[in-house]
Amino acid sequence: MNFKFKGVKPFVRALSLLTILTASGASAASQIVDEQAHQFANGELEPFRAIDSGQLPNSVHIVPLDLKSNSRLYLHSDSSHQMLDIRNESVQSTDATLCAQGCPTATSASVFLDEMLSQYETYPYYYGAIKGPSMVAKDKSGNPFELASLYAAVIANNALVHDWRYVFGRVQVSGEQLKKFVGVDNAMEAAHILHTSGYQVSGSVDSTGKLVIAQFNHVWLKVKETSSSAWVSVDPSFKAHTIPNKFNLNALAGVNPSSLLNGLSDSGALNNPNGIMIPDIQIAEEFSESSQDMIANYLSANRLLSYEDVVQQRKPVKDMYNGFGHALPYQQVGSASESQSFSTNHKHRIKVTVAGINHTVDLRDVIGSRLTLSYEGATTTDKNKITANGGVLGLLYKEVKLVPVLKSNGTVLARGSAASLGEYQQVTVTFFNGSKNDGSATHYITVGGIHAIALDPQHISDTYFEEQLAVLENASQLYRNDAMDERYSGQLMHILGLSYYKQLDNAINNVSSGSGAMIYHKVSEALMSIDLTAKRQPNGQYRMAVGSRGIDAPRNVYSIFSYKESERVDRAAVLFATGIAASGLEHAVFEKTLGWPSNSTMSILRFAAQHEVPIYVVKASNVDAALAEINMPANIETSMRNAVNSGRIVITPKEQMLIGEWNGVGYIVLDPNTGAAGYLINGGNAGGKQAFEPMDLQQTNDTWFTDVVNIGEAVLNGVLMGEFGTKTWDDPLLQSVNDGSAFVADLFFVGDVRNLGITTFDLVFNDGSFSDVALAGVGFIPLFDIGKAGYKVADSYFDVANLSQYKNAFEQVMPNADVTLAQLNKNSNISAAGLQTLHGGWNSVVTKASRNDMGFTNVALQDGHGFVKSLGLDPNNLTKANKGLVGESASEMYARSQGLSCVFCGGNPSANGLDNIFKDTNGNYIIDETKFVSGSGNAGLSGLSTSTGNRQLTNAYLFGNGTSVGGALGRTSGLSNVEKQKIFVAFQQGKVKTRYTVVKDRHVGAGVTQGLTTHPELGVGGSSQIDEIVIIELPIKN
């Protein structure tokens, strides 16, 4: 724009115009930022990562191997006495071999070699170094490169030898040796494992196809004890390994996984080709409880059975090689090279790329360290503003510019370029095996959050976990008032990453034990994030707050083989079951470790089933019909369609789920050919989410501090440690169950899902006994369910969720008050709760709540056994008729507590008529339909029968055609015709109300299902909307 002026006045006018235009532009820009802040706070700006083609997050890696007879290979019957001929020495410069910490001391090279041969497990799972010596020492395991590096570090650091070298070459062994070394009973399988892992196997088979000789790349050492002594070849990695025996606890106890599918089939749930339209969670509850009872009986008959018996470990055995001074048990093929360092081709690396950062680092330098992405002010002005505010929390959305900082144990590795507070950035972690690109993982993060890159090389050791927990406990004291400091929050997320992978180790071992599968993986990666949101202030501004913690685990790449030839595994089925367990842990990492209810794909599918939301199985044959019925955001539906077009199957709820304050979706993208899958939630994340009410710095400080205490308690209670923890390892399983161990309780449920996942996959894709609709049933099982024994919910959760005012009332009525109240909050919106003594003197806590604007009352009695006994019944031996009587009696008891009078009570509960009829002080009749329902399900449509053609409690069911006494009213025996006519007339006058009473046999925090609230007749705004819903929880069953 050009301004032309002469003299002062025109200049002033032009300046005023420029000022107005500038102010107008600034105002418009401010409005744009305010609108963006609103969208950011609602999660509308979160980028969507489509995972519909290419490699799925939980996938399989197998390299084909075809070995034939090869006369050119030097065939030898016994190589145990053949010395290696080391020639063509090529000595390179020395790498640092010092252990950062934790390496053992040794008195001699010979003694330490014997220790490594007998105590350190050799991994055949990958080629090249991933872990450094100190982590190898902590784990007491590693591959040949890593064990060689530990041996070199110890003998060098303790000055046990005059000189040493790594030797890189190719070796030849017999088929029998190869089996022992890998730890399987089939030499060809052993060769295939090594080849898949990168050892470049060749070999020769005999006329029967049996592998008799194999060659592969290997590394060992040679040492010189004194300046005048000869070189001695040593190999700390070549030894035998035990073969774990298959032990399927569930199968031995008589659990039949197909019984769940049979139950679903018998109920008609599998009849719709598009999926399960009204999930009946009761079928899954009965299956789970039956499984638990069978296992309990089995443990009672095998009282000394321990976890060590059930999940046997692959263990090293000093065999084939006698140690220092003895000949190596294999023959060298060709020439070898020597060095005191590993070349690039012998090391695994990662590259972290984000907004100006493009940093590559050796994995052995960061495995065993806290690797984080955090943020700092981009300019001095930004830094000063952040300091004056006490951090980024409380600043306006986009108020400052920040730069990402990549750190390892607090040491800065790289800094990136500036972006505004609250924006999203893409992070890519690329893996390299030597110089070869070995895949990548992509994440989206909020600028200003704190993010830990969690890595699992193969196994997370107790020693390292406990060391890092001590670091966290110290940080919680040092930074008590600054929870967003990377040294505190970064360490917290690092611990959560370790916890996730440690629990996943346990789950994989359980799958392996029950199936006979050897399961290992490439380096797994997950991003553990503290993400920010914006909270609207009374003046309309949006200020930054902590919004959620999450895990995004898009890289779990497994290799699956069989330990025994007689127990060949279905690789695809095992991968499917393993993926289910991994997904369940993506919410359990927060629930078990921190005591915070959280969400993952598996928990969302179960929640959908609990709320009678249809679960669709979308495939090529029904993609158009199914997507026409599914109600999802457009980008998710497009991704689902693309996945199906790529030959995959999508398992999804019909709609997004409101779980507490979190609203979103979780679904599975499955490759039916390989069992690979993506277990996805909002935004395409392959993980879980723990959503908060927006927290300021003080709330974050209090929450984090409590979290650290909860993590310590979880460790002490054996929730996390699993097979490597003394809490559960040595104790009999029965004792652990009686002690309330969450880990052992999960073993049973993981077992159910393990067997169910494998069985379902087999029956659908191999056997053909069931259609692929049966896949939806896998989501019903309570995998890592916080409602099970041994779990607890953190007090800070109730503080942040504004539920602390109710918690005391629950604690006076039940021992598991925290879990029950948390479940009730996930199921509904709680408006009030308090103690109440009901008719007959029964102490209870009564809660008023709603879901989708459908109100209900949850009544939790303190003494369920006493109530049942007051009816002259045995609570431990209730028949179906007894349960019906308990239900109707409980309904009557609560009605009298409300001041209602009985018009018709105590009738025959099995009759095909009305259960109870009450009358209020205004002359209204209340027709009550009562159901006694076991398990943890909610009050829903499945409890209201359609056996007469109309669903119970609809007008048509109650009164027939509405012109005269008919329907259930007409069928009710024990009610006089005069009373029936009175009730019918009252109905015509609008003075009849309906009530649905569901009586549970335990405290579970039940609510009403989403399916019921949206039913066109009985739901909100329906033609026969239920007037009152009452849920009575009687603690009969623990």
Cα separation, 137 vs 145, in Å, equals 13
Q: In whole angstroms, what is the distance from residue 696 CA to residue 983 CA?
A: 57
* pLDDT score recorded for residue 724: 39
- Of the pLDDT bands very low, low, confident and very high (cuts 50, 70, 90), residue 89 is very low
Average predicted confidence (pLDDT) for the chain? 88
User: Is the pLDDT at 723 greater than 50, yes or no?
Assistant: no
Q: How far is CA 29 from the centre of its chain?
A: 42
pLDDT tens digit sequence for 631-659: 999 999 999 999 999 999 999 999 999 98
Q: Which range scores top for mean pLDDT: 46-50, 443-447, 598-602?
A: 443-447
Bridge-based pairing of strands 901-904 and 916-919 is antiparallel
pLDDT score, position 27? 66
Measured over the CA atoms of residue 995, residue 999, residue 1000 and residue 1004, the dihedral's sign is positive
pLDDT above 50 (res 685): yes
Region 809-834: what's the mean pLDDT?
A: 94
Band (97; pLDDT cuts 50, 70, 90): low
pLDDT digit string, tens, across residues 320-347: 999 999 999 999 999 999 999 999 999 9
Whether the predicted pLDDT of 80 surpasses 50: no
DSSP H or E run through 150: helix 144-157
What's residue 22's pLDDT? 54
- For 378-400, write each residue's pLDDT tens digit: 999 999 999 999 999 999 999 99
* pLDDT higher than 90, residue 303: no
Both structure tokens of 925: 């009749």
Nearest C-alpha neighbor of 650 from the set 624, 671, 632: 671
Q: Is the pLDDT of residue 102 over 80?
A: no
Place of tokens 């019984």: 259
**Rounded Cα–Cα distance for residues 354 and 426 (Å):** 6
Compute the average pLDDT of residues 90-112.
Answer: 70
Distances (CA, A) of 980 to 491, 645, 755, 985, 992: 69, 59, 53, 9, 12
Residue 1001 has pLDDT above 90, yes or no: yes
* Average pLDDT over every residue of 976-997: 95
- Which pLDDT does position 54 carry in this prediction? 81
pLDDT at 642: 94
Amino acid symbol at 1008: V
- The pLDDT assigned to 726 comes to 45
| Interatomic CA distance for residues 188 and 303, integer angstroms | 39
- The predicted model gives 912-931 an average pLDDT of 93
Mean pLDDT of the region 17-41: 69
Asked if 711 and 610 touch (Cβ cutoff 8 Å), the reply is no
Q: What is the pLDDT of residue 983?
A: 95
Which comes out higher in pLDDT, residue 24 or 197? 197
* Predicted local confidence at residue 86, as pLDDT: 36
Q: Which residues, including other chains, have CB under 8 Å from residue 833's CB and lie 6 or more apart?
A: 806, 809, 810, 845, 846, 847, 848
Q: pLDDT-based confidence at 78, cuts 50/70/90? A: very low
Q: Do strands 436-446 and 424-433 pair parallel, antiparallel, or not at all (unpaired)?
A: antiparallel
Confidence of residue 748 (pLDDT cuts 50, 70, 90): low
Question: What is the reported pLDDT for 88?
Answer: 36
Mean pLDDT in residue range 22-50: 78
Q: What backbone phi and psi angles, to 5 degrees, belong to 35? A: -65, -40
Q: In terms of DSSP bridges, do strands 925-933 and 992-1000 run parallel, antiparallel, or are they unpaired?
A: parallel
- What is the DSSP-derived secondary structure letter of residue 487? I
Count of CB atoms situated within 10 Å of the CB of 14: 14
Mean pLDDT calculated for residue range 730-748: 60
Q: Does residue 481 contact residue 441 with C-beta atoms inside 8 Å?
A: no
Can you tell me the mean pLDDT for 682-703? 86
- CA 2, CA 153: separation in Å to the nearest integer? 74
The pLDDT value recorded for residue 369 is 95
Please, are residues 1003 and 1034 in contact by the beta-carbon 8 Å criterion?
no
Q: Do 943 and 998 contact (CB within 8 A), yes or no? A: yes
How far is it, in rounded angstroms, from Cα 367 to Cα 522?
14
Q: Is the pLDDT of residue 164 over 60?
A: yes
Looking at residues 369-374, what average pLDDT do you find?
97
pLDDT at 1023: 95
Give the pLDDT band of residue 788 (cuts 50, 70, 90). Answer: low
pLDDT range class, residue 438, cuts 50, 70, 90: very high
pLDDT over 90 for what percent of the chain? 66
Q: What pLDDT band is residue 792 in, cutting at 50, 70 and 90?
A: confident
Of 269, 290, 285, nearest to 934 (Cα)?
285
Helix (H, G, I), strand (E, B) or coil at 717: coil
Per mean pLDDT, which range of 362-366, 420-424, 752-756, 759-763 is the poorest?
752-756
* Burial grade of 946 (CB within 10 A; 0-12, 13-18, 19 or more): exposed
Over residues 617-631, mean pLDDT = 96
3-state secondary structure of 518: strand
**Residues forming beta bridges with residue 857, ordered by sequence position:** 848, 1030
User: Residue 1012 has which token pair?
Assistant: 């019921």
pLDDT in tens, 240-270: 999 999 988 888 888 888 888 899 999 899 9
State the pLDDT at residue 462: 85
CA atoms within 13 A on the CB side of 664: 26
> What pLDDT does residue 84 have?
35
Percent of the chain whose predicted confidence (pLDDT) is above 70: 89
Mean pLDDT of 560-571: 96
Instruction: Read off the pLDDT band of 194 (50, 70, 90).
Output: very high
pLDDT band at 596 (very low <50, low <70, confident <90, very high): confident
> How far is residue 893's CA from residue 372's CA, in Å, rounded to a whole number?
58
Helices 462-478/491-515 angle, 10° precision: 160
In this predicted structure, the answer to whether residue 455 has a pLDDT above a threshold of 90 is yes
